[in-house]
A = this chain, B = another copy of it.
Amino acid sequence: MRRRDFIRTGTFTGLVAGAGGIGGAGDPLAAIVGGPARRTAAGPVRLSSNENPLGISPAAKDALVEAVVLSNRYPADQHRALVGKLAAAHEVAENQVVLGTGSAEVLQMAVQAFAAPRAKLVMAEPTYEAVTNYQRTEAYELIRVPLTSGHEHDLDRMREVAESSGHPALVYLCNPNNPTATITPSAAIDAWIADAPEHVFFLSDEAYIEYVEDERLWSSLPWIGSKRNVLVVRTFSKIYGLAGLRIGYGIAHPDTAARLSDFASRNNINQLAIAAAGASFRDEALMEKSRKVNRQSREMVEATLGELGLEHMPTQANFLMHRINGDLATYRGRMAEAGFLVGRDFPPMLDWNRLSFGLPEDMGRFCDTLRGFRGKGWI
């Protein structure tokens, strides 16, 4: 997070309860937080991190509060119970499911587990940057392949790169892709997986799959029964609204899951995250409400962008990429002044912004703000 964004969140005082040293007199942050730019207690509207604006579901909250009594107990039993629930729902064995502190930890396990001398990491540009960050400490040769002009993964080029030698290749496929919210048709991915040599490993990040309406996209899950070289990653951070609780999971062949597990942090998942995830998983009412609200906000934003003639990409997720006709940092700063946090840099697309969909009422105000920016010649 950039400093400009950070100081505007307004949420960080008081949230660490008893934090006498933060925001108090003499604290260097106090001047920033308490300064004239400070917003209301509720803080700015966060349209920056693809979070679910509906928040935790009532059922998940109840489960979480009931589990507070377990705060002093290590989570092994509850962890195992949630793995059992996920495995049963996905019709796989328990030893095929690996929990992580968000899908982020599962991605980290994969990057670490499949590192090897002269291994390649093949990924789109732009795509979600966690994998890029994790590979910095590993031996990978990083190969970035630009999306096609249709905003799809360039599978032909990725395949050429991944299979051009016998060295191991970890292929990261984020579908829908973050930050573009665009999809790559699964039929083409399946065709590659079916034919790929074993040294090509597919890391299929399906963080946003529950939002997808386009029937050309489906999960890579069916492959894990027969292929050791496929890992599907899911998260509770998006449709389930639990980004702050840090829980996600991977599903793979038992041998692959075992390799990953060696890289999990001991007792990684928080008791309350387990409780909330268990109560949220496949809660159809929650999922339908999330999709409905997302659709309302998306349609409002798309209409406004159309009205303003600002190009945007087609979206199959809870965010979209749109042109801003100018410098991204300047745009972001002005949006922060107006009370909206918007997306970070995704090079090389520095004249586009990634906009997460908030609640419809907030998006109404956002659209008004965009129109105001146009009036000032800022976009």
Please pick, from B11, B20, B56, B85, the residue contacting A16 in the complex, using a CB distance under 8 A: B85
- A148 contacts B by Cβ under 8 Å: no
Nearest B residue (CB) for A136:
B262
Q: A144–B137 Cα gap in the complex (Å)?
A: 27
Q: Kindly list chain B residues whose C-beta atoms are within 8 Å of the C-beta of A272.
A: 64, 244-245, 270, 272
B contact residues around A16 at 8 Å (CB): 63, 78, 81-82, 85, 274-275, 278-279
Complex-state Cα separation, A208 to B182, whole angstroms = 50
Taking a contact as CB atoms closer than 8 A, the residue among B81, B100, B265 that contacts A19 in the complex is B81
Q: In the complex the two chains form, what is the Cα distance from A52 to B70 in whole Å?
A: 11
In the bound complex, do residue A18 and residue B102 qualify as a contact, i.e. CB atoms below 8 Å apart? Answer: no
Q: Is A230 an interface residue (CB 8 A)?
A: no
Establish whether residues B62 and A17, one from each chain, have CB atoms under 8 Å apart when the complex forms.
yes
- Nearest to A20 among chain B residues (CB) is B85
Report copies per complex.
2
Question: Which residues from B are CB-within-8-Å of A64?
Answer: 68, 71, 272
A205-233 contact mask (Cβ, 8 Å, vs B): 1 or 0: 00000000000000000000000000000
A346 at the interface (CB under 8 A from B): no
**Can you name the residue of chain B whose Cβ is closest to the Cβ of A113?**
B137
Classify chain A: how many residues form its interface, as a range: 35 or more
A55 to B281, CA, bound (A): 28
How would residues 20 to 58 of chain A score, 1 for a CB under 8 Å from any chain B CB and 0 otherwise? 111000010100000000000000001001011111100
Stretch at the interface among A104-112, A168-176, A306-314: A104-112
Since A15-B77, A17-B279, A246-B269 are in contact, a sample of 16 more A-B pairs with Cβ atoms closer than 8 Å, ordered by chain A residue number, is A1-B77, A6-B80, A11-B73, A12-B81, A15-B78, A16-B63, A22-B84, A51-B72, A55-B71, A65-B68, A71-B243, A71-B245, A74-B243, A101-B246, A104-B268, A105-B265
Instruction: Give 6 CB contacts A-B under 8 Å.
Output: A18-B281, A56-B72, A101-B268, A112-B137, A113-B137, A270-B272
Q: Which residues of A contact B (CB under 8 A)?
A: 1, 6, 9, 11-13, 15-22, 27, 29, 46, 49, 51-56, 59-78, 80-82, 84-85, 88-89, 100-102, 104-105, 108, 112-113, 130, 133-134, 136-137, 237, 241-246, 262-263, 265-276, 278-281, 283
